[in-house]
Structure 1
Amino acid sequence: MSNIFFDKKVTLQLWFVMLSVVSSPLYSGENTNQFTERVAVSLAVGHNPNLSEMRARYKSMSEIPSQVGALPDPMVSLNAMNFPTDTFDRDQEAMTQTQIGFSQVFPFPGKLGLKEEAAEYDALAAGHTVDEVRLQLIGNVKSRWWNIYYLDRALETVEMNKSLLRQFIAVAKTKYETGKGLQQDVLLAQLELSKLIDQEIQLQAIRRNQSIQLNVLMDRPANKVVLLPNQVSKTMPNLANETMLYQLAEVARPRLKQMETQIEAAQSRLDLAKRDYYPDFQVGVTYGDRAGDNPSPGGGSRSDFVSVMVGVKIPLYAGRKQSKAVSQRNYELQKNHYALLDEKGLVMAAISTSVTDYHRAKQQFSLFGSGIVPQARQTVDSMLAGYQVSEVDFLNLVRSQMTLFNYELQYWKALSEAKQALARLEAAVGKESVYE
């Protein structure tokens, strides 16, 4: 009767510990100042310095087209001509005059329009860069968020198993002291507990590093505590087929639109280089004011002078300058075309990789949640019942509990990896609507 009472007491103690751990604040997630994935994304988009830098760059480049599309600034000149060095008298010599002049350079028709067009494409490409940086930022924030969520669940699982192992140690000690157990059982449980403590130390360090990186993305102090909610959606949506995702990326991905715009800018610069074979013009007008009188017999005041100048820039060294410039711009256009083709390949590969990772993690999450973890839990229950009646040795009981622990970690890891794969897929495609 005493043995039966002892076994029931041990069983009740073990289950009480499990229930107390599950209902503890750490496990239940009853923390304040928590923020969801959506809040984290909102903070990052609103405050991230790199994204703000790209926005400022875009605004800066938007001011360039009107500048390069305007005529060069005119030149106003003031001249003192033909003053005699002995007296510097304006009346002494007939050709002495003070002049005011005005000149303006006129590029060959079409050049300014092409310069403005190329600058507009550059500004548009900078706008697409803002969208791309924003997209990648959101993907990074989501990935960090779900990684921290997994680490929280892992730490809770470690804490629960530490409590259970401490209870196992107490039970093993009790059995050893009453002559019904072995000292090696106590040592084994203590070893497993020490291993769990070591794993907890590593997980806490990893979580802090992940929190630092997430805080940086959100422009928060690096050491600020990051608290996440305990309850999240575990829904695993069905994805659109890869071909449709490819087509969606070609029209939605900002990186591809940026590179397409850069091709347009390169084409405008090539056309401009071809226009440089044609000359620019310069027109000038000068008014000369004279003083004094004409000599007899005509007499009378000296008349003022008006001069008109027209200049033409001659492409005399076209073989070394303009032709080389056309060749350079042509190669730059080819480079941009090849870069776009290469980037499309990388985007498609990123989409396929993310789809593969998502399906793998989704299947694992379902398998661990509906099969492996419940089965492992049943195995622990069975082992515990057998241990109470001395039909199962302590080593197998501890091993079954640690196996369950590892499967629970893999369960949460699969959930986190599936959500991170979704974030990478959304970033690769260029929008969130990647589902059926």
Structure 2
Amino acid sequence: MSSVLQLTRYLSVAALVLACGFAVANEQSLLTLEAATQKVTQDNPDLAQMLARAQAMAAIPSQEGSLPDPQISFNAMSLPVDNFNTRQVDMTQMSFGLSQAIPFPGKLALKEQAANYEAEAANLNADEVRLRLISDVKTLWWQVFYLDRALEIVASNHSLLHQFVDIARTKYEVGEGLQQDVLLAQLELSKLLDQKIGLTGLRRSTVARLNALLDQPANHPVQVSATLPLQLPEIKTENQLYQQAETARPLLASERQALNAAQTRLDFAHKDLLPDFNIEAAYGARSNMPDGTRRSDLLSLGVSMNVPIFAGSKQEKAIDQRTSELLQQRYTLQDKWNNVRAQISQTHSDYQRAQQQFVLFDTGIIPQARQTVASMLAGYQVNKVDFLNLVRSQITLFEYETQYWKAFTEAQQALAQLSADVGEDAIYE
């Protein structure tokens, strides 16, 4: 008897440990929203290639600001071709030369400055991609959350309709119900099965898109938490969000850097009308004469510069080109700013609408619909309510519960989009 008791205790402890292990494993397999956003910023290849491009752009300014490489030359000058004797002709010399091209002062600084603006724009573009990816991941994560809740509602309604079928069949068997009630309930069960198939397929495709952003196999299983705080915060006004976006949105900052680069390239085009210089120095070594008389070596110095005689078709056309590019960039910045404000207004409106719907379903519609179903069911069991109205009330409750979770999900997705539109998470009052 004692051994049986010990065995029972052992099995109980083992079952408890196994259950805890399953619970921990299940908890570890959950993909939290924070983990998803962290993973996309670490593993997404699109963001990685943008960061690599920004690093490449950061290496350009020092190249643009450096002088051209000097040139070294070696020459045999005035060498007689009949015997190649370096002592026969007085001008024969072995020459070593060095030359350095020097752009007009200020040109290199402008080229380096333009490259710096472009490098900073590339870095800001990477930040913009990061914001977009985080928003996309959050949107898909919340979509999976919604589909899980919708599938739970389908399963719950499937169980309730089974109970309705049993009640209708029992009443039909005792002669108090109609066969059409049983058939109607079975038809609604089939409709629920069709909805389940559609929701399951949509969840599969949503998970595949989420896995693609997370750099995971498309069929990698994803489970999200079913219990989350059901609270929706108040957000700032549109004008406040406009002001934040003007300084925080990487897209706008990148366009401003591109505008600065265009202005710098225009300044360089004006300065390119001025000549560049080339400084040369050469040393010619001469051999002694055949009778031993020493001949002095020769030193040559020179400065040359280009003459922009074709400025009308070259440098001035470059100025026209850079002027048009600067104008284009100004229009681009204004267009981006208009689009950002439109996005903020649209997303702000979407959140307000979803928040109001969520509160309405939570505090009014769903409690009333549940009371209606309970009242209908009680009335049907005593033959005071027909079966069709009972089923309709349950289907209506099913639709309201689905819309409740949809409103909550759309509100969360709007918050994610709004953070990306503004450029930061500080969007709450």
Q: Return the alpha-carbon distance in structure 2 between the equivalents of residues 233 and 94 of structure 1.
A: 98
The question of whether the paired residues in 1 share the 8 Å contact of 2:29 and 2:223 is answered with: yes
Q: Return the alpha-carbon distance in structure 2 between the equivalents of residues 406 and 432 of structure 1.
A: 33
Tell me whether 1:192 sits opposite 2:188 in the alignment.
yes
**Identical amino acids, percent of aligned pairs:** 53
SS at match of 1:283: strand
Structure 1 residue 419 displacement after superposition: 0.7
Structure 1 residue 118 displacement after superposition: 0.5
**What letter matches 1:309 in structure 2?**
G
Structure 1 residue 378 displacement after superposition: 0.7
The question of whether the paired residues in 1 share the 8 Å contact of 2:88 and 2:289 is answered with: no
SS at match of 1:301: coil
TM-score if structure 2 supplies the norm length? 0.91
Q: Return the alpha-carbon distance in structure 2 between the equivalents of residues 34 and 293 of structure 1.
A: 94
The alignment of Structure 1 onto Structure 2 pairs a total of residues equal to: 404
The question of whether the paired residues in 1 share the 8 Å contact of 2:97 and 2:281 is answered with: yes
Structure 1 residue 133 displacement after superposition: 1.0
**What letter matches 1:42 in structure 2?**
Q
Per-residue Cα deviation, 1:75-130 (whole angstroms, up to 9, x for no partner): 01111222222222222322222221110000000000000100111111111112
Structure 1 residue 36 displacement after superposition: 1.6
Structure 1 residue 32 displacement after superposition: 5.2
Alignment counterpart, residue 341 of structure 1, candidates 331, 334, 337: 334
1:372 aligns with 365
Structure 1 residue 294 displacement after superposition: 6.5
Structure 1 residue 137 displacement after superposition: 1.2
**What letter matches 1:342 in structure 2?**
D
Per-residue Cα deviation, 1:288-344 (whole angstroms, up to 9, x for no partner): 22224077xxx6122222211211111110001100101111111111111111111
Runs of 4+ aligned structure 1 residues displaced above 4 Å come to none
SS at match of 1:433: coil
Q: Return the alpha-carbon distance in structure 2 between the equivalents of residues 99 and 190 of structure 1.
A: 104
SS at match of 2:235: coil
CA RMSD of aligned residues (A): 1.4
Q: Return the alpha-carbon distance in structure 2 between the equivalents of residues 294 and 267 of structure 1.
A: 65
1:77 aligns with 73
Moved more, 367-376 or 218-227: 218-227
Q: Return the alpha-carbon distance in structure 1 between the equivalents of residues 240 and 275 of structure 2.
A: 51
Structure 1 residue 166 displacement after superposition: 2.1
Tell me whether 1:422 sits opposite 2:415 in the alignment.
yes
Tell me whether 1:291 sits opposite 2:291 in the alignment.
no
Alignment counterpart, residue 59 of structure 1, candidates 52, 55, 58: 55
The question of whether the paired residues in 1 share the 8 Å contact of 2:150 and 2:402 is answered with: yes
The question of whether the paired residues in 1 share the 8 Å contact of 2:283 and 2:297 is answered with: yes
SS at match of 2:29: coil
Q: Return the alpha-carbon distance in structure 2 between the equivalents of residues 248 and 382 of structure 1.
A: 52
1:14-413 correspondence runs (5 A): 33-293=29-289, 300-413=293-406
Q: Return the alpha-carbon distance in structure 2 between the equivalents of residues 244 and 170 of structure 1.
A: 58
Q: Return the alpha-carbon distance in structure 2 between the equivalents of residues 49 and 208 of structure 1.
A: 22
TM-score if structure 1 supplies the norm length? 0.90
**What letter matches 2:242 in structure 1?**
Y
Moved more, 422-431 or 302-311: 302-311
Structure 1 residue 142 displacement after superposition: 1.1
Runs of 5+ consecutive residues of structure 1 not aligned to the other structure: 1-29
CA distance 1:162–1:156, change in 2 (3 Å): same
Q: Return the alpha-carbon distance in structure 2 between the equivalents of residues 104 and 90 of structure 1.
A: 29
**What letter matches 1:141 in structure 2?**
V
